[in-house]
Structure 1
Amino acid sequence: MKSIYSKVPKASRLYCLVAVLFLSHHAHSFALSSQPTKWPFNPPHDAQVKVYAVSESSMVNTYKSIDWQAQWWPIAFESVTDKTRPYPFELLSIPIVIWWDNNGKRWNAVKDACPHRLAPLSEGRIDPSTGCIECPYHGWTFEGKLGKCTRIPQLEDGEVPPEARTAATVAAYPTTVAQGIIWVWGQSLQSLCGRTPSVDLIPLCPPLVDEDLICLDVSRDVPYSYEQAKENLLDPSHVPFTHHATIGRRSYASPVPLKLTSEVTLAGFRGTWERNIPASPMTKKHLGRVERETLFNAPSYMHHLISTPEVSTWTVTYATPSRPGQCRILARFPFKFPDPVTDTGSLGGFNTTPPASPLRGRSWASRLRRAIFLSIPDWMQHLQQNRVLDDDNIFLAVQERRLLDPAGSSSASWVKRYYMPTKADLFVAQFRRWIDTYGKGGPFGALTADALEELDYKTLPDVLLDRYHQHTRHCASCSRALACVRRWKPRILGAGLLIGTLGKRLLDVKLTSNRSEVVVVALIGLLAFSWQQLSRIEGDLTRGPYPPPRNAVESGRKHGNL
């Protein structure tokens, strides 16, 4: 869905940027404070087990350990991926390039290395006439479905001779789109002998079958491994402290008595809380009626679900391993604004019949809030989401390096080096055991000190909080916003200097009235304020704050909570 911002004339976008700056700071808390309504898709607990069992069982194979390559891996959210240029990504230490074929109306993925002389295809261009990707070095072109070379300019007529077709083919990877995410299979079509893996193996998010919801999405490349990311995402007890002053609050901390509700298998595990602790305003309101569920659908999917008779709050995350010491996190937060639809015919207190249209049956207040929220550009939402990820980034990379034992291996060292006496760490321990039992020590095996030595620079704050390289450059919405800000800043500076110079000269010769002087001063003040706010946005799009909000001096403002 296009935002209203994209329809604003270019000449007016500067003032739109400044006018909505306040919303950028409060957009996420606004969304969280707007309680979701009853889900059209929310069956009782036993039905949910059956829904998830489909995706869980699909992960099980005849082997006793997981095949990290034989998986659908989430790469990017389609809505914020630029379709006009190649998109580089590293998957399981394999460089790949993704691009949109406007002729075939499909996403393609091939190895990011031209078979000619290994130049990165991601530095090339998409041929608009054929939808093929063109190598930047010598112009060889490749179609994306099978990776075949379609043109070699250095040959007669550019045609590829039959005897060279195999050698000139680049490895192609199965690609699809599901629930707004671009997915890539971890094995090439050539290794699969042309067979296409079933899309039924994709670990989908159950509530997203409802088209009438709003979903906050954000992705980020984090400077620590898949294992460290999953460990953090499965840990609910860190939120009040790590994310204090962003989405958490220290005063809401309480015991977190976790327990498993399923066995730990190749497919993952499921868990909940032993009892309901009123650790937030929502849980205090509903007391014993609150239900919590955590699902780890191996290897990429995880969600936390908090359910009451009125609302369901989902936190959905995927983790895709890029290379040792780096992975990509894709986070989703589906929710709804409340509406006056009655609870008649609901299952377990949840409405199971969606309205006939997205707006029918809703109050004007609900419609207005929905319209305002949808008008906020994606980049503004991402500013707040990145603040949350900054909270973790600043220490998880350091923690991962310290996990290595003196012998230089991370395999099973967590058992020796972690001290976890409470039930709050149950999911973390079970995930680590899953890695040891079914995960072959991780997607790259047991990490060694030598393998991570070259990544030690990533423990520097400037690297850990580098929003530009970790997010902005591969997010089309944030990239456009940054380019717009950088276009307008020198224009504002020039306009301010021009008005200031002309105003001074007019004042020197006394050709202006007192009212004109006020206008000149007001214009200069407005331009200075605009320049300052644009500089702030530019900074937020490129680097996170340090020290983090949890360590900043309390400002007296009311912090949001999870």
Structure 2
Amino acid sequence: MQSEFNFFQHWYPLSPIEDLDPQQPTAIALLGMQLVIWKPPSSDTYRIFADRCPHRLAPLSEGRIDEKTGNLMCSYHGWQFDEDGSCQHIPQLEDPKQLAKNQRRYCAQIFPSREVQDLLWVWADLDSPDLAESTPLPLSPYVDASKGFVWSSFVRDLEYDWQTLVENIVDPNHVAFAHHGVQGNRDKSRTAEIEVVSSTPNRIEARTQTGMNSTIAIDFPNHIEYTIFFGTEGKQVGLVTYCIPVAPGKSRLVAQFPRNFAKTLNRVIPRWWEHVQTRNLVLDGDMILLHQQERFLQERQQQESWKSAYTLLPRTDKLVVEFRKWFDRYCNGQLPWREVGIVSPPILPIAENRRTILDRDRQHTQHCSSCRNALKQVQRWQRVGGVYFIITISVTALMPDAARSRWGWILMGTALLGLGIAAGLKYWLEPKFFFVDYVHARKK
């Protein structure tokens, strides 16, 4: 049965712009399609191509940006493409006239793209650029400095499917338990009763009350936003999330966190520190739960519907139920993997290695410019502390006895301090960029 909902004819944010490297191509996946992001030196904006050279289908993301021409060069045979996807040079072609004559065959496939609200967006359908032009982006009204808001951004790849990610985000009642000690407290949890206000083929709206009035809106296929009002001074905080379907059992979360108070904290607290101390911990708290939950549900759905596989509560699971009904009604309970040639196995395996499921480096650090740069500095200062320790100990040992008795203790103290800083960076801070095992039983 043909799905009523077209996942491809929509705008998707791929990455915060600040996390992209303008000096080299970046590979990224969306809806089972491999894409490449790159920035022509003569342009202020990025381009998004299908990540395959038309010659022999080599990945353009393994290419380079040519210093002389500013074109994207395929590293396999040196074909070059300009910012519009037109092939500008084929080293193996003896007659340049053949290039102009066969340009349609030689060009790269370019996707419509935009840069709005500090995010790079792509239209996922190559064949409908006119529709892309007339379709508004699913933007948050609160990612807007003119309205008094500040915000930060975050991106991470996840080891579970798009539908599991959506279902999790629209369930506020898991926060106090799955994120105990990070964003909630299991001993002080307050049940959020959900009221579904409206449900259409493109949008679901709900309200919830847990001491603070909040609204939840789902703009399909990717935009989910919480708006929370509290106090009498107009204080407002938002959770703006974009749920990106990557591949079977894989998704990506692009999130923004706007607020109209405590604005100085955005300048004082480094972005990378917020990521390693809070944002990654929140997703770690969900990751293994959802990775395994998804596989268990797949097993049960071989024989029964989610309606009987789950034991749902009428007051608190209303939005989960509404989303699942929407997914069944308009998408036949399936993502469009077959449309891009992906035939996924009936049940994806559960990863046995916790490091694979909670791999912060692969899922986040490699994508985040702030964390990449912070990690380089952490590793640099480790070396500085170690070298300082060795040099200081050596100098102290070579000093005359009189000088050593006077200055030796001070130098030894600073040497040990340098060694302690290096050890702290190595064994406490550096692992936070790679892997932190999240064990709920140890969260007191």
Q: TM-score w.r.t. structure 1 length?
A: 0.72
Contact 1:77–1:182, Cα closer than 8 Å, also in 2: yes
**Match of residue 297 from structure 2:** 403
1:450 to 2:345 alignment? yes
CA distance in 1, matches of 2:180, 2:98: 60
Q: Which amino acid aligns with 1:475?
A: C
Residue 162 (structure 1) aligns with: 100
Residue of structure 2 equivalent to 1:108: 47
* Deviations, residues 128-155 of structure 1 (Å, cap 9, x unaligned): 444321111121111232x221111222
Query: Contact 2:194/2:318 (CA < 8 Å) preserved in 1?
Result: yes
Give the match's secondary structure for 2:403: coil
- Confirm or deny: 8 A CA contact 2:3 2:332 kept in the other structure: no
Identity %: 29
Assess if the C-alpha contact under 8 Å between 2:392 and 2:412 holds in 1.
Answer: no
Cα distance between partner residues in 1 of 2:299 and 2:437? 31
CA contact (8 A) 1:109 1:184 kept: yes
SS at match of 1:201: coil
Structure 1 residues 500 and 296, CA, compared in 2 at 3 Å: closer, same or farther? same
Q: 1:520 aligns with which of 397, 411, 417?
A: 411
* Residue matched to 2:371: 478
Corresponding residue number in structure 1 for 2:326: 434
Q: How many residues align?
A: 435
* 3-state SS in 1 of match to 2:328: helix
- Alpha-carbon separation, structure 2, partners of 1:479 and 1:424: 39
Residue range with higher mean Cα deviation, 536-545 or 169-178: 536-545
Q: Is the 8 A contact 1:324 1:452 kept in 2?
A: no
Task: Map 1:209-220; keep pairs closer than 5 Å.
Answer: 209-211=144-146, 212-220=148-156
- Contact 2:181–2:443 (CA<8 Å) still a contact in 1? no
> Is 2:5–2:331's contact at 8 Å kept on the other side of the alignment?
yes
List runs of 5+ in structure 1 lacking aligned partners.
Answer: 1-62, 278-282, 284-289, 339-368, 555-562
Is residue 89 of structure 1 aligned with residue 28 of structure 2? yes
Match of 1:343? Answer: none
For the residue of structure 2 that corresponds to 1:261, the secondary structure is strand
Kindly indicate which of the two structures has a greater share of residues assigned to strand: 2
**What's the offset of the Cα at 1:66?**
1.1
1:275-286 correspondence to structure 2 within 5 Å: 276-277=209-210, 283=211
Shift of 1:466: 0.5
Q: What residue ranges of structure 2 are gaps of 5+ in the alignment?
A: none
How far off is 1:159 after superposition? 6.9
Question: Residue 537 of structure 1 is aligned with which of 429, 435, 439?
Answer: 429
Measured on the aligned residues, the alpha-carbon RMSD in Å equals 2.4
Q: 1:112: Cα distance to partner? A: 0.8
What CA distance in whole angstroms lies between the structure 1 residues aligned with 2:194 and 2:27?
40
Name the counterpart of 2:441.
551
Deviation string, structure 1 residues 269-296 (Cα, Å, up to 9, x no partner): 11113xx44xxxxx3xxxxxx4221111
C-alpha distance after superposition, 1:131-190 (max 9, x if no partner): 321111121111232x221111222386762343222222110010111110011112xx
Contact preservation (8 Å) 2:155, 2:367? no
Does the CA-based 8 Å contact 1:149-1:160 persist in structure 2? no
1:303 aligns with 2:242: no
Please report the TM-score for the alignment, with normalisation by the length of structure 2.
Answer: 0.91
Counterpart pick for 1:313 among 231, 237, 246 = 237
Give, as a single letter, the amino acid of the residue that structure 1 aligns with 2:89. Answer: R
The 3-state SS of whatever aligns with 1:419 is coil
Per-residue deviation, 1:217: 1.2
Partners of 1:144 and 1:415 lie apart in 2 by: 49
Call closer, same or farther: CA 1:402–1:502 in 2, change over 3 Å: same
Aligned to 1:222: 158
Shift of 1:529: 2.2
* 1:492-537 deviation digits (Å, cap 9, x = unpaired): 322222222332344xx63534341222222222211221232232
